[in-house]
């Protein structure tokens, strides 16, 4: 594929709409998982783990900001308004990132499944035809590589450490796997984005993700759930009730004074 879009202005109106949708999905996922991880700040199982997960929360919010900035360059509102000024229905995040933070096993499994998906997307973006997105993805990949090391390290150790840790990890995996599959909810834009060489089709990304996570989960002594129905709806604005609660908390200060300068 020899298509190449040097900058955002090179996109046709139809492709522009597809890219805007893609960026909302990415940005909203990052913002919300970042917020969920930040709920561990001060509550981590040990100091070292608390610091690591808090830093990773900041990383994810930084990624969200970068995607919101690109959306702003495409004519959407400014990043603060996009992050804090929208109604739940306007968010395009997957249900996976909305769920309350759960126990540590839940957080680790969610973060691992999420980061593996993000890494696959970033790698595809980096090799893709939309130059500003390729450049951004290349920049974000270093942090994401660390997130993968962190997630893999915890998954392998907690998966078969003690009967209790195994049980908690397996329960989290069984619960979260269909939600993680929902990260790859097909959209009406998939074909167009794939043809333009910007982002592969969601089903293709999902297959790649499944073959990336399965060996690690198996090595950790966990059973990868099979024949599950993915949880869809997030990409079209249908969210679990947990999202509204999260947004009420996250947007509280913004709503008091939207124009506040810090």
Residue 46 contacts other proteins per CB under 8 A: yes
- The Cα–Cα gap between 156 and 171 comes to 15
Give me the least distance between CB of 4 and other proteins, in Å please.
Answer: 33
Among the listed ranges 46-54, 83-91, 121-129, 210-218, the one in contact with other proteins (CB under 8 A) is 46-54
Asked if 48 interacts with other proteins (CB under 8 A), we say yes
Instruction: Give residue 257's Cα distance to chain centre.
Output: 28
For the CB of residue 153, give the shortest distance to other proteins in the complex, in Å: 5
SS3 5: strand
Burial of 32 from C-beta contacts in 10 A (0-12 / 13-18 / 19+): buried
Residue 169 lies near other proteins (rule: CB under 8 A): no
Q: Give CB contacts under 8 A, 24+ apart, made by 61-66.
A: 61/30, 61/31, 61/34, 61/35, 62/143, 63/26, 63/27, 63/30, 63/34, 63/140, 63/143, 64/27, 64/28, 64/30, 64/31, 64/34, 66/136, 66/139, 66/140
166 binds other proteins (CB under 8 A): no
Question: Smallest distance from the beta carbon of 16 to other proteins, in angstroms?
Answer: 37
Q: Decide whether 49 or 242 has the Cβ nearer to other proteins.
A: 49
Q: Which region holds residue 125: left if phi is over 0, alpha if psi is between -120 and 50, else beta?
A: alpha
Piece of 27-35, 51-59, 113-121, 249-257 that binds other proteins (CB under 8 A): 51-59
Classify 233 in phi/psi space as left (phi over 0), alpha (psi -120 to 50) or beta. left
- If the CB atoms of residues 146 and 232 are measured against other proteins, the closer one turns out to be 146
CB of 142 to other proteins, least distance (A): 11
Applying CB under 8 A, does 51 fall inside the site for other proteins? yes
Cβ 168 to other proteins shortest distance, Å: 17
How far apart CA 174 and CA 229 sit, in angstroms, is 12
| CA pair distance 141, 135, nearest whole angstrom | 10
Site size with other proteins, rule: CB under 8 A: 13
- The one among 157, 223, 238, 255 contacting other proteins by CB under 8 A: 157
- CB-wise, 55 or 138, nearer to other proteins? 55
Among 10, 41, 49, 74, binds other proteins (CB under 8 A): 49
Shortest Cβ distance from residue 55 to other proteins (Å)?
4
- In this structure, the chain runs to a length of 262
Q: Which residues in this chain contact other proteins in the complex, by CB under 8 A?
A: 46-49, 51-52, 55-56, 146, 149-150, 153, 157
């Amino acid at each position: 594929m020899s298509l190449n879009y040097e900058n955002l202005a090179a996109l046709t109106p139809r492709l522009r709409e597809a890219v805007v949708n893609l960026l909302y999905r990415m940005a909203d996922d990052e913002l919300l998982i970042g917020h969920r991880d930040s709920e561990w700040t001060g509550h981590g199982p040990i100091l070292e783990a608390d610091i690591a997960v808090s830093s990773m929360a900041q990383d994810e919010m930084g990624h969200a900001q970068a995607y919101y900035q690109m959306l702003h360059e495409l004519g959407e509102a400014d990043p603060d308004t996009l992050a804090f000024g929208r109604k739940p229905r306007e968010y395009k995040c997957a249900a996976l990132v909305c769920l309350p933070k759960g126990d540590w096993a839940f957080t680790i499994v969610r973060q691992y499944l999420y980061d593996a998906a993000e890494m696959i997307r970033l790698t595809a973006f980096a090799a893709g035809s939309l130059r500003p997105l390729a450049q951004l993805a290349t920049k974000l990949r270093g942090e994401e590589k660390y997130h993968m090391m962190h997630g893999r390290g915890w998954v392998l150790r907690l998966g078969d450490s003690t009967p209790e840790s195994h049980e908690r990890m397996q329960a989290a995996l069984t619960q979260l796997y269909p939600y993680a599959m929902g990260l790859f909810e097909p959209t009406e834009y998939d074909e167009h984005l794939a043809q333009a060489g910007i982002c592969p089709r969601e089903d293709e990304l999902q297959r790649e993700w499944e073959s990336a996570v399965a060996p690690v989960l198996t090595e950790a002594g966990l059973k990868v759930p099979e024949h599950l129905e993915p949880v869809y709806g997030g990409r079209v604005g249908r969210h679990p009730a947990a999202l509204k609660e999260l947004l009420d908390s996250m947007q509280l200060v913004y709503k008091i004074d939207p124009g506040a300068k810090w």
